[in-house]
Amino acid sequence: MSDLAWIEKALVGARPQVVSALLRYFRDLDRAEEAFQEACLRALKTWPEKGPPRDPAAWLIFVGRNAALDSVRRDSRTTELPEDRLISNLDDAEAEMSERLDNSHYRDDILRLMFICCHPDLPATQQIALALRIVSGLTVKEIASAFLVNEKAMEQRITRAKRRIMAADVPFEAPGPAERAERVGAVAAMIYLIFNEGYAASGGEAHLRAPLCDEAIRLGRLLLRLYPSEPEIMGLLALMLLQHARTPARLDADGNIILLENQDRTLWNREMIAEGLALVEKAVRHRRPGPYQLQAAIAALHAQAERPEETDWTQISLLYLTLERMTPSPVITLNRAVAVFKASGAEQALNLVEPLKVKLDGYFYFHGVRGALLKELGRVEEARQVFSRAIALARTPAEAAHIRQQLDALEAGRKFLTPARP
């Protein structure tokens, strides 16, 4: 791995913890982000020469904090920050910083920051968008994609959220038990959106952004530690584990998408699946169903099928119907249509899909599913047009390549598989 490659990996991995700690220190969102960026620049300059620090996160926190303090001092014409050579070997400073992080109230600054971003003074959409930007460092484009809105609208939403947090003088402290209970739903939604961003790889790269999935699962474990008897948090963690377990089988050697029914199931992570299934069973015993539990139950049915033909599509379609009634969404209806196709045929599924066009015309998966249904029904020319639209909306090379394969199969008159989300 090249110097820049391992440094980039370290910086991306450390970002949530570093920004969270800097925000706790400075209590200013913009200053914390700027301090992190300055620390990254110094890392790019120092680490190739001196090697990686013992604890990259602690190093970045220490350097970022000093860089921000130096900025304040320059404004007030006081002492400048020492040269890089004097701070590059942090030794005890790193250990002290790590100790302070480990002994924080939640033992994790990131979780503390999630609750801050999900402050009830903010609308729910702003809470989640701000947390995705500040906690996990997703780009505005990536967040806009997750919300199915344009980039400019999302940028304005995040800016308004920052201003509102600062204007309200929100304390950068861990909320009490009552406040945590009010915010847990928004925090859970934010964690799952982080997971989805990694799982869908919508940032434009062909490879899956597995570290984002790992980070979301870690945050889910922390949230479950706070709410050990909350079935929806169990369902959330189970859902992420069961989906992430399929990661090794989702792309081929060339980075092309492998659909669920074509995946080598021996590559699935059986340890993750076992943990996820256990959490689903534990959540069900509470008899308080919720959206995450229903989605986890769907993922569990896929995980339990040793072969694609053993998948219980009828039960999956019923679970999607329950989920749709609980939380109406055109995307949920689209997913139900795929299950209906598998269980009852293309015509019934297409009847569910067609009314979604107005709301999902800019959504890649809508056109992929619709094209497959049209092809199955022998409406070849319509399918070709729909697949062309899907290619135009593809967010990654892997998505575009997958639809091109369907077009090639269409031209050759071969039967192909439904381009449902892998």
Give the domain CATH number at 72: 1.10.1740
pLDDT value of residue 263 = 95
Residue 319 included in any domain: no
pLDDT for 384 beyond 90? yes
CA distance 107 to 130: 22
CA distance 160 to 163: 5
CA distance 133 to 158: 8
Kind and range of the H or E run holding 332 = helix 330-344
pLDDT value of residue 86 = 44
pLDDT value of residue 291 = 96
How many structural domains compose the chain? Answer: 1
Which of 299, 249, 306 minimizes the C-alpha distance to 275? Answer: 299
CA distance 329 to 345: 22
pLDDT for 157 beyond 80? yes
- Distance set, CA 274 to CA 72, 201, 231, 380 (Å): 51, 25, 17, 42
Which of 222, 270, 279, 228 minimizes the C-alpha distance to 246? Answer: 270
- Distance set, CA 285 to CA 147, 195, 217, 324 (Å): 32, 26, 22, 22
Q: How many CB atoms lie within 10 A of CB 321?
A: 16
For residue 83, the SS3 value is coil
pLDDT value of residue 413 = 63
> Where residue 276 falls among pLDDT bands split at 50, 70, 90?
very high
pLDDT for 203 beyond 70? no
pLDDT for 375 beyond 80? yes
pLDDT value of residue 422 = 55
pLDDT for 330 beyond 50? yes
pLDDT value of residue 194 = 81
CA gyration radius for the chain?
23
pLDDT for 91 beyond 80? no
Kind and range of the H or E run holding 391 = helix 380-393
Residue 10 included in any domain: yes
> If you average pLDDT over every residue of the chain, what do you get?
83
Which of 248, 255, 240 minimizes the C-alpha distance to 269? Answer: 248
Q: What is the DSSP letter of 104?
A: S
Residue 63 included in any domain: yes
CA distance 169 to 165: 6
Q: Compute φ and ψ for 251, nearest 5 degrees.
A: -130, 145
Residue 73 included in any domain: yes
Most confident segment among 44-53, 69-78, 252-261, 313-322: 313-322
Q: What is the mean pLDDT of residues 402-422?
A: 67
pLDDT value of residue 80 = 54
Q: What is the DSSP letter of 40?
A: H
Q: What is the DSSP letter of 122?
A: S
pLDDT for 171 beyond 70? no
Which of 87, 54, 58 minimizes the C-alpha distance to 70? Answer: 87
Of 21-30, 33-42, 198-207, the poorest mean pLDDT is in: 198-207
pLDDT for 125 beyond 50? yes
Residue 414 included in any domain: no
Domain of residue 59, residue span: 3-103
Residue 330 included in any domain: no
The 3-class SS string of 343-386 reads: HHCHHHHHHHHHHHHHHHCCCHHHHHHHHHHHHHCCCHHHHHHH
- As beta bridge partners, residue 257 has 251
- Compute, in degrees rounded to 10, the torsion defined by CA atoms 366, 372, 378, 382: 40
pLDDT value of residue 182 = 72
Residue 227 included in any domain: no
> Where residue 77 falls among pLDDT bands split at 50, 70, 90?
low
Give the contacts of 387 (CB within 8 A, at least 6 positions apart).
367, 368, 371, 403, 406, 407, 410
CA distance 251 to 403: 14
Q: pLDDT > 70: what percent of the chain?
A: 83
Of 136-145, 151-160, 299-308, 332-341, the poorest mean pLDDT is in: 136-145
Q: What is the DSSP letter of 80?
A: P
pLDDT value of residue 309 = 94
pLDDT for 186 beyond 90? no
CA distance 291 to 323: 6
pLDDT value of residue 207 = 47
CA distance 383 to 334: 17
pLDDT value of residue 204 = 41
Residue with tokens 């915010």: 183
pLDDT value of residue 418 = 47
CA distance 270 to 47: 37
Residue 117 included in any domain: no
pLDDT for 218 beyond 90? no
> Where residue 202 falls among pLDDT bands split at 50, 70, 90?
very low
pLDDT for 120 beyond 80? no
